[in-house]
Amino acid sequence: LKYLNGNIFLNGYASAAGEIAGKLSTIPILKYFSLRRVFLLAFGMCIMSLTFLMIFIESDTWTPFLVLINRFWFSLGYVLSYLSVILLYPTILASTASGFCVLSSKGVTIFAPMIAELRPPINLVIVLSVSISAAIASQFLKDDKDNED
């Protein structure tokens, strides 16, 4: 957030508001759509907002709005990733699968401070590539609601 244009405090408030709203809206959205569709929606909106953030990188006006949208959908995807372990794996395997995912995510987040210190748009391109790969990978999940949709 510190390298994005605009007021750092306004960007911080937008980020916090988006995260709170995203985490609270995960369950209501998941009630109406399948797991794969919600993942695609979440990461698709992240891809769109990151693309617009790279386009309007010099804009002080659009930055907080795009940060809010991006943080909303990333937070929704974050909560959804924990819920998907519970929904997709049998109870006896859920803790092992969750532990493996947490271990691998901790290994990847070692690089987060180094990526955060890169100047935009390089850091945004890296986050965009992670979002694209997550959107593609999430479409290989099996879901019970796929037969209903």
**Distance between CA atoms of residues 118 and 68, nearest Å:** 21
Structure-token match 């271990």, residue found: 103
The yes-or-no verdict on residue 149 having pLDDT over 70 is no
Q: What is the pLDDT of residue 147?
A: 47
Q: How confident is the model at residue 57 (pLDDT cuts 50, 70, 90)?
A: confident
Could you tell me how many residues make up the chain? 149
**Omega before 90 cis (within 30°)?**
no
pTM listed for this prediction: 0.84
pLDDT of 139 higher than 70:
yes
Q: Average pLDDT in the 112-141 region?
A: 91
Give the pLDDT score at 89.
Answer: 86
The model's confidence at residue 74, banded by pLDDT at 50, 70 and 90, is very high
Start-to-end Cα distance in the chain: 38
Structure tokens at 143: 């879901």
Q: Residues 1-30: pLDDT tens digits?
A: 677 888 899 999 999 999 999 999 999 999
Residue that the structure tokens 């997709």 belong to = 88
Q: H or E stretch including 49?
A: helix 35-55
pLDDT at 48 over 90: yes
Both tokens assigned to 119: 């100047």
Whether residue 146 is predicted with pLDDT greater than 60 in this model: the reply is no
Average pLDDT, whole number, for the chain? 89
Instruction: Report yes or no: 121 and 57 within 8 Å, Cβ to Cβ.
Output: yes
Q: Which residues of 97-134 are buried (b: 16+ CB within 10 A; e: fewer)?
A: ebeeeeeeeeeeeeeeeeeeeeeeeebbeebbeebeeb
